[in-house]
Amino acid sequence: MQGSPPRLLIYGHEGQPVYINENVRALDDEGYLKTDQIFEVAGIYQVRVGSLVKNVRIIEPSLRPSLAGSGHTGAKVSKPQHEVILAPGEWILIGRTPFNSSCVAIHGRHTRLAFCSFEPTFAIKVGGGPGARVIQFARQSAECCGKIRKIPDTQRWANAIYSASIRHPILECVIENDQGHTAQDWAEYVRFAKRLKRQWRQARQ
């Protein structure tokens, strides 16, 4: 994809030169092609080593930005924007603290890019019936110490986690080379959400 070029590993070339669009390109110490900025423009690039020819196609991104978060009024957000890719549907992004939660609606039939002002740890999708979907974007331990006020943000955080947990959600992870901890990390967030709901329930009594 344009803006995220591939890394090409060349092996078994036995010292033969490597060409991209008939221009010789060097390899680094690990055998990867030094592409510099050659893949910055969308198009089809021909990679040739001896008689072997492969085409690499760089495409322009087709994702449309979708601002995330309830309560946005169009004012500029001073915090850095974090992006995630989500399938169509109603999602809730949650961060490491109960004060980090945001609703996202992805309309249409295509996956799109969504932004939020905090680093999202999980995206949660809960429908009206059974089943739920949880996607992990980062390994962030939950920070939920002491008494947490019951406000819309913290309620949304706890309710989203709890509602998904009782539906035995499908867990997914998009963290590269780190997909063995999702169930453990999710269980930690579920414990904190249950603790918050119990704390608020006791406060009413």
Q: Would you place residue 69 in the very low, low, confident or very high pLDDT band (cuts 50, 70, 90)?
A: very low
Query: How many domains does the chain divide into?
Result: 2
Helices (H) and strands (E) in the chain, counts: 2, 12
167 and 83 in a single domain? The answer is yes
**pLDDT at residue 76 above 60?**
no
Mean pLDDT of 108-130: 86
Instruction: Give me Rg for the CA atoms of the chain.
Output: 23
Mean pLDDT of 124-133: 86
* Structure-model confidence comparison of residues 196 and 31, the more confident one: 196
Question: Could you report the per-residue pLDDT of 156-188, keeping only the tens digit for each?
Answer: 999 999 999 999 999 999 887 666 789 999 999
38 and 94 in a single domain? The answer is no
Question: Could you report the per-residue pLDDT of 7-52, keeping only the tens digit for each?
Answer: 777 877 777 888 888 888 888 877 777 766 777 777 888 888 888 8
121 and 170 in a single domain? The answer is yes
- Beta carbons within 10 angstroms of residue 48's beta carbon: 16
Q: Would you place residue 73 in the very low, low, confident or very high pLDDT band (cuts 50, 70, 90)?
A: very low
What DSSP designation does 169 have?
P
Residue 70: its pLDDT value, please?
44
145 and 184 in a single domain? The answer is yes
15 and 90 in a single domain? The answer is no
